[in-house]
Structure 1
Amino acid sequence: MIKINNKIELKSSEISETFARSSGAGGQHVNKVETKVELRFHAEKSSTFSGSVKGRLKKIAGRRWSHDGVIIITAEKYRSQSMNRHLARQKLINLIVQALEVPKSRLKTKPSVAIKARRARDKVKRSEVKLLRSRVTVD
């Protein structure tokens, strides 16, 4: 069970973790120990979240969201498997917390009178500049 907040907990059946050898520096240790963590959260099949939250989660997750509706998070920052495991879980929690926040709806605004006046003035100026470019006819 992963606790997201006071009301939401993820079931263990919705999450799977695999471990692999991490890349980067570390010498013999990194070549022998599987410290990289790949956490998979089956978001599409999860009954914990509504459709709108899943939609926002898909948008926030981006390319971490697979075709199967699984969020794949990897962590290999630390040399310790337990620290990487904690980091991966924290990344998932942060993603979900972001998706739970309902975005504010945009309020339509009208351009102010001053803006409309400036736009009209600029339009007149521009037309005068273009008129000056035209050929002059001598009578």
Structure 2
Amino acid sequence: MDKQTLLNELIFKAVRSSGPGGQHANKVSSKVELNFDLEKSNALNEAEKTLLKKSLKNRLTTSGTLSLQCDDSRSQHQNKSLLVKRFLSLLEKGLEIPKSRKKTRPTKASVRKRLDTKKKQAEKKQQRQKPSSE
């Protein structure tokens, strides 16, 4: 993954932010939207693309585009830098290969302990019953 090539492939768009803000919000486009086309990216190899498609499948559009937006700050530049940080951390997290789970078996002592407690519980229930009329 080449970060500089990735950053060159990003498409930014500044739009008006929603919510209150008076005249400032009506004049200034401080909200920033980021679009990244995962399919057409040259910075990622095919293995990384398939891994990202799998891990980011809920965030991708049907055309394979990742879309993020930020309106945390009133400054467009701060929103843009926050968005780039989020994007890079999202990709790094998506490229992590999950650790495979090793099957384990319960120890003999734990099996014995479980069976003993079952037996004690059964005996307790048995003693609570009315005696048979034989």
Task: Provide the TM-score with structure 1 as the length reference.
Answer: 0.77
Percent identity between matched residues is 37
What CA distance in whole angstroms lies between the structure 1 residues aligned with 2:89 and 2:111? 43
How many equivalent residue pairs? 133
Q: For 2:106, which of 102, 108, 111 is the aligned residue?
A: 111
The SS at the match of 2:61 is: coil
1:48 corresponding residue in structure 2: 43
Tell me which amino acid in the other structure corresponds to 1:105.
S
What CA distance in whole angstroms lies between the structure 1 residues aligned with 2:121 and 2:42? 60
Kindly tell me: are residues 132 and 52 of structure 1, through their superposed partners in 2, closer, same or farther at Cα, counting changes over 3 Å?
A: farther
Kindly tell me: are residues 10 and 31 of structure 1, through their superposed partners in 2, closer, same or farther at Cα, counting changes over 3 Å?
A: same
Q: For 1:31, which of 23, 26, 32 is the aligned residue?
A: 26
Worse-superposed segment, 125-134 or 87-96:
125-134
What CA distance in whole angstroms lies between the structure 1 residues aligned with 2:7 and 2:56? 19
User: What are the equivalent positions in structure 2 for 1:52-131 lying under 5 Å apart?
Assistant: 52-61=47-56, 63-131=58-126
State the shift of 1:93 in Å.
0.4
> Aligned-pair RMSD on alpha carbons?
2.6
What residue ranges of structure 1 are gaps of 5+ in the alignment?
Answer: none
Retained in 1: the 8 A contact 2:29–2:76? yes
Tell me which amino acid in the other structure corresponds to 2:22.
G
Retained in 2: the 8 A contact 1:35–1:76? yes
The SS at the match of 1:124 is: helix
